[in-house]
């Protein structure tokens, strides 16, 4: 079954890296937004940003958080994680810091954005439930190939985990 994913990422530093993953064509993703369009959405205020995110999440079965150096604890990434989890969507992370950006640079590994959340009555850390995959390579092309080879399986696993965990 073709899955539809929402890609969550820190726009400014990781847009180039995120585009590489989104353009793999492994799972259908949300429509890319240009720099100008994103700036227009941001200018309209928080309600407009939240409405835009909610619209992008509609009809998606999974949210893929593309984890860069400064992704964790960002306000809108946190909103996307919380909204996705509470909506019963599959949720996973992929570290993308070793993919090269437009200048051919790699970045430092960022913190796990799921560490900031707890779920259930037992206050279990979301990072103990949701998988965050860190490709085991240093070379950008190998990292890319690893993500492309595994992304579909990771999405299916995330959906299974979320379904098993319940609402």
pLDDT at 3: 87
User: Which has more pLDDT, 86 or 1?
Assistant: 86
Q: Mark out the alpha helices in 5-139 (DSSP H runs).
A: 11-22, 35-43, 46-57, 75-86
pTM assigned to the model: 0.94
Q: What is the pLDDT of residues 49-68, one digit of tens each?
A: 999 999 999 999 999 999 99
Bridge partners (DSSP) of residue 65 are: 8, 93
Q: Above 80 in pLDDT, residue 73?
A: yes
Task: Tell me what pLDDT residue 36 has.
Answer: 62
Number of domains in the chain: 1
Q: What is the pLDDT of residue 135?
A: 98
> 98-137 as b/e, with b when 16 or more CB fall inside 10 Å?
bbbbeeeebbeebebbbebbebeeeeeebbebbebbbbee
Q: Residue 26: its pLDDT value, please?
A: 85
Q: Is the pLDDT of residue 43 over 90?
A: no
The CATH number that applies at residue 72 is 3.40.50.450
Residue 46 structural domain: 4-165
90: β partners:
62
Lowest mean pLDDT among 34-38, 46-50, 132-136: 34-38
Residue 102 has pLDDT above 60, yes or no: yes
pLDDT higher than 90, residue 30: no
pLDDT score recorded for residue 33: 60
Please state, in angstroms and rounded to a whole number, the distance separating the CA atoms of residues 76 and 22: 19
Judged against a pLDDT cut of 90, whether residue 25 lies above it is answered with no
Q: What is the DSSP letter of 96?
A: -
25 vs 110, more confident: 110
pLDDT number for residue 27 = 87
């Amino acid at each position: 079954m073709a899955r539809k994913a929402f890609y969550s990422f820190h726009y400014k530093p990781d847009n180039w890296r995120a585009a590489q993953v989104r353009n793999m064509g492994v799972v259908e993703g949300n429509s890319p937004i240009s720099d100008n369009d994103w700036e227009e959405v941001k200018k309209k205020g928080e309600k407009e940003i939240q409405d835009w995110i909610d619209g992008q999440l509609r009809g998606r079965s999974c949210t893929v958080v593309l984890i860069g150096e400064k992704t964790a604890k960002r306000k809108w990434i946190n909103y996307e994680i919380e909204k996705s989890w509470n909506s019963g969507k599959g949720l996973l992370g992929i570290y993308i810091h070793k993919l090269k950006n437009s200048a051919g640079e790699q970045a430092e590994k960022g913190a796990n954005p799921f560490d900031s959340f707890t779920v259930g009555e037992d206050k279990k850390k979301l990072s103990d439930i949701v998988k965050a995959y860190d490709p085991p390579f240093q070379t950008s092309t190998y990292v890319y190939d690893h993500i492309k080879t595994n992304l579909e399986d990771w999405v299916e696993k995330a959906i299974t985990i979320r379904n098993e965990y319940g609402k």
